Amino acid sequence: MPTITVTDQSGAVRTFEPMTTGTLMEALREAGFDDILALCGGNRSCATCHVIIDPEFSGRLPDLGDDEDDLLDSSDYRVASSRLSCQIPVTQNLDGLALTIPPEG
């Protein structure tokens, strides 16, 4: 499994290895990152699993879909490397990934 470093909403930094092969959202929730609300359960309808990906990892992720792009537009904290964690599969390709959970989750 990959190693992922997360900066949570309080600014605390923690590194973990996902125990799931599902989505990054599921891995974050399983690892105890309660800042990821994931209200829709990963159905790409709420944007409460918004994360900001370290820009150097952008090329390792699946392309941003139109629905994901539209949902991210609703965030006051969107930046160029914003993604919905429910749309990122956990693979070894994420090894070394760093991300930040923005204030609204």
pTM reported for the whole predicted model? 0.92
* Backbone φ and ψ of 27, nearest 5°: -65, -40
d(CA 76, CA 66): 18
Q: How far apart are CA 85 and CA 49, in angstroms?
A: 5
Is residue 30 within 8 Å of residue 18, measured between CB atoms? yes
Q: What is residue 69's predicted lDDT score, i.e. its pLDDT?
A: 96
Question: pLDDT tens-digit profile of 7-25?
Answer: 999 999 999 999 878 999 9
> Taking the domains of the chain in order of start, what are their residue ranges?
4-100
Homologous superfamily (CATH) for 4-100: Beta-grasp domain (3.10.20.30)
